[in-house]
Amino acid sequence: MKRMEKSMLGMLCLASCAFGGDLIWDDRPASADAKAWEGERYPIGNGRLGAMLTGGVACERVQFNVDSLWTGDKNLSGATGVTESVATDRTVGDYQNFGELTVAFAGYGEKTAKAYARFLDLREAVHRVRVTLDDGTEIVREAFASAPADVIALRFTASAPFEAKVTLEGAHGETATPGPGAAGRAGGSRAFGGRLKNGLAYAARADWWRVAPTNLVVFLRAKTGYDLTRADFGLGRPCAPYAEPFRGDFDALKAAHVADYRRYYDRVRLDLADDRRVDGETTRARLQGLRRSWLPSMFSLTRRADILRELVETQFNFGRYLLISSSRPGTLPANLQGLWCNSNRPPWHADYHTNINLQMNYWGVDVANLSELWQPVTDWLAAANRTATAETRKAFPQSEGVAYRTSLNAFGGGGWKWNFAGAPWLAVMAYDHYRFTGDAAYLRDTAWPLLRDAAAFMLRHLVEGPDGTLLVKAGWSPEHGPVADGVMHDQQLMAELLRAVVAAAETLGEDATEARATLARLGGNKIGSWGQLQEWQADIDRKHDEHRHTSHLFAVYPGTTITRAATPELAAAARVSLEVGRTTTKDSRRSWTWPWRAALWARLGDGDKAGEMLEGLLVHNTLDNLFATHPPFQIDGNLGLVAAVCEMLVQSHETTADGKVLVRLLPALPTAWKTGAVKGLRLRGGATVDLAWADGRLTDFRLHAADPARYEIIRPSATGD
């Protein structure tokens, strides 16, 4: 008992003492109301299996998901109508809620918690709750989603015996019954299974064990029959129920889970905080204070700066946590909501949106030293392209290669408008991943087919402009419009694609004659009448446009064809477009707009502007649990922030005349980030860097590279950046 008391005191002390950016915490449970699901509950996940927890005193609610539980099918019709979905389920479909596990405690609801703390430990990927009731009873709870064991594990411990009732419910009307080989007198078991209208089978099982009158452990498993290696994706095939109960030593399972998780998380460490710390405030209170701190009488500027730095650091770590938790080798990619969804009709299907959102989810995967987590994207694309190619042929009979619609589901089925830039964008990212890893087998077997097929379609999707240059047909500068030939977003992406095709072909010994010839004739960027980088061929851009997208600035970031060094006039025009051509009000305030603009400002060398964009995300589009909101919740803002922060600290997208990787250190450090350090950021070419700075000046730099001569380093003092 004394051991528990010490643990309790230590955790509660943590809630009132200084701490850094590895913890999200609150002093009250999340609401059980479904409307509060996205903004109050804390997420756990192992890449495939995830959950959101309330941390309730009288009842813990665990709403859970599996990445492959989708309605819809290959959807070669491209339909997205709700009526058709209800009638035949032959649309793009929706990512689904799987069910809810509840653990209700007899008597706790009659007592008042005189001390309460709920934590999401980002360094260990463990959800913790510590409670002291007014009768002195102490409660300690832990939960995690283990990748090694493929199970969600929960432990409930109290200083006095307690009674608990465990229930399991499916989100499609299933009633759970005792599972085969149920635990018996020492515990219990509930299981359910079913099949969606599209034929996808699924199963779930919860097992619980009374280790002692004061200790209960619960294990939750869930799966589907989905199989991306099969032509039918497993639709119509059986999904065997869990036949045996799960039993394991909780501490051993947790140790294996933490070790597995930290092999990803510990690769990078960011410290933006100085000696001043914000003591005794929950994450929610600090965020709310930041939102209202425009009132001078309520908030000092110094305190505001402290909170902002700590929240950026925490959001950076939270973004990495979310990607590790929703995207592992062998799983599907993170969708619009990552892994977490409490609705069977989620916004925008919780799909794979190909015009920015899926891409942004993975912008930071390599530079944040999580390169293995890119594999779910290319595994899924290889499977989805079987479907997308068939739909491309159906819609464009004379075409070659592949094109995507804006919405894609787990089966490669598409809905809504065609997004011709989607396949090129993802193919370019696949090649950029090769630039980080240097994996020749990956380039040949994975990236090259994506580049080849995207280029095959786009090379037949060109027209000759009035000046003889080649223009991409019928673009819409997502999602701005109007539809026109040669919108700059498409021109820039085509240039990036063809450059990648040529470079990859040279490495692999493939023929790139047509790609080279087309690149030489491709229409380029234009500077408009008020100094802006034009979005269209015609000079029709509006000043102070409130639209959320900055599609015509792709070439600045994440593209590489506009840089301050190589194309200074175009970079200056891009700055005008960003500063004068777009506002940061109304429609521009979205989960993903802020990180993109932060990364753009970073590429343009303006750290303070980049910092303002991160602040905008926190103030306007971040919920109390730190989830980004479009609204509603979309994970792209969380994951995009990781990439933006990395881009502010180090850049490696340029090459020198002699082929070296040009590395810019602290290229866009905000004035407010006076002192800090970062370790483990990855560069193109495979090296990693550690940096430290004080009073805004670089004080330490270490390059970890097998061949340091491959890099040319530009320090801030050498460039004035």
Closest CA to 517 of 470, 559, 483, 577: 470
Would you state the structure tokens that stand for residue 102, as one six-digit string?
A: 């509840």
Please answer whether residues 60 and 157 qualify as being in contact, where contact means their C-beta atoms are separated by less than 8 angstroms: no
- What percent of the chain lies above the pLDDT cut of 90? 86
CA distances from 454 to 38, 219, 360, 668 (A): 36, 44, 19, 33
Tokens 């993903």: give the residue. 592
pLDDT single digits (tens) 238-263? 999 999 999 999 999 999 999 999 99
Backbone angles phi, psi at 626, to 5 degrees: 80, 5
Would you state the structure tokens that stand for residue 457, as one six-digit string?
A: 């379609």
pLDDT single digits (tens) 540-555? 999 999 999 999 999 9
Would you state the structure tokens that stand for residue 512, as one six-digit string?
A: 């790139």
Would you state the structure tokens that stand for residue 335, as one six-digit string?
A: 């969708």
Please answer whether residues 565 and 605 qualify as being in contact, where contact means their C-beta atoms are separated by less than 8 angstroms: no
pLDDT at 9: 41
Instruction: Supply angle C-alpha 710, 715, 719, rounded to 5.
Output: 115
Q: What is the mean pLDDT of residues 498-508?
A: 98
pLDDT at 720: 40
Tokens 């009768």: give the residue. 135
pLDDT at 17: 41
Helices (H), 42-156: 82-88
Residue 479, preceding peptide bond in cis (omega within 30° of 0): yes
pLDDT single digits (tens) 636-649? 999 999 999 999 99
| Greatest CA separation for the chain | 83
Tell me the C-alpha distance between 329 and 362, whole Å. 14
pLDDT at 18: 38
CA distances from 655 to 506, 560, 710 (A): 17, 10, 10
Tell me the C-alpha distance between 73 and 384, whole Å. 11
CA atoms 39, 42, 44, 49: torsion sign: negative
- The yes-or-no verdict on residue 3 having pLDDT over 80 is no
- The yes-or-no verdict on residue 73 having pLDDT over 70 is yes
pLDDT at 293: 61
Q: How far is CA 287 from the centre of its chain?
A: 20
Beta-bridge partner residues of 164: 105
717 vs 542, higher pLDDT:
542
Long-range contacts (CB closer than 8 Å, 24 or more residues apart) made by 546-549 = 546/582, 546/583, 546/585, 546/586, 546/587, 546/588, 547/480, 547/582, 547/587, 547/588, 548/479, 548/587, 548/588, 548/589, 548/590, 548/593, 549/356, 549/477, 549/478, 549/479, 549/480, 549/593
CATH 2.60.40.10 fits 2-266, yes or no: no
pLDDT single digits (tens) 338-366? 999 999 999 999 999 999 999 999 999 99
Q: 495 falls in which pLDDT band (50, 70, 90)?
A: very high
Closest CA to 214 of 166, 153, 248, 164: 164
pLDDT at 91: 81
pLDDT at 292: 80
pLDDT at 182: 79
Tell me the C-alpha distance between 618 and 319, whole Å. 13
pLDDT at 87: 34
Q: What would you report as the CA-atom Rg of the chain, rounded to the nearest whole angstrom?
A: 26
Residue ranges per structural domain of the chain: 2-266
The pTM of the full predicted model, rounded to 2 decimals, is 0.95
Backbone angles phi, psi at 690, to 5 degrees: -120, 135
Under 8 Å CB-to-CB from 207, ≥6 apart: which residues? Answer: 179, 183, 187, 188, 189, 218, 219, 245, 246, 247
pLDDT single digits (tens) 560-615? 999 999 999 999 999 999 999 999 999 999 999 999 999 999 999 999 999 999 99
- The yes-or-no verdict on residue 80 having pLDDT over 70 is no
pLDDT at 273: 75
Helices then strands, each counted (H, E), the chain: 18, 25
CA atoms 629, 631, 633, 636: torsion sign: negative
Please answer whether residues 687 and 662 qualify as being in contact, where contact means their C-beta atoms are separated by less than 8 angstroms: no
Strands 126-133 and 164-170: unpaired
Please answer whether residues 273 and 21 qualify as being in contact, where contact means their C-beta atoms are separated by less than 8 angstroms: yes
pLDDT single digits (tens) 198-242? 999 999 999 999 999 999 999 999 999 999 999 999 999 999 999
Q: 717 falls in which pLDDT band (50, 70, 90)?
A: low
Q: How far is CA 134 from the centre of its chain?
A: 41
Tokens 């997420």: give the residue. 43
Please answer whether residues 438 and 685 qualify as being in contact, where contact means their C-beta atoms are separated by less than 8 angstroms: yes
pLDDT single digits (tens) 265-320? 999 999 997 654 545 789 999 999 888 865 444 456 777 888 899 999 999 999 99
- The yes-or-no verdict on residue 467 having pLDDT over 60 is yes
Instruction: Give the containing element (helix H, strand E) for 8.
Output: helix 2-16
Long-range contacts (CB closer than 8 Å, 24 or more residues apart) made by 534-537 = 534/488, 535/477, 535/480, 535/487, 535/488, 535/489, 535/577, 535/581, 536/477, 536/484, 536/486, 536/487, 536/488, 537/465, 537/471, 537/484, 537/485, 537/486, 537/487
* Mean pLDDT, the chain, integer: 92
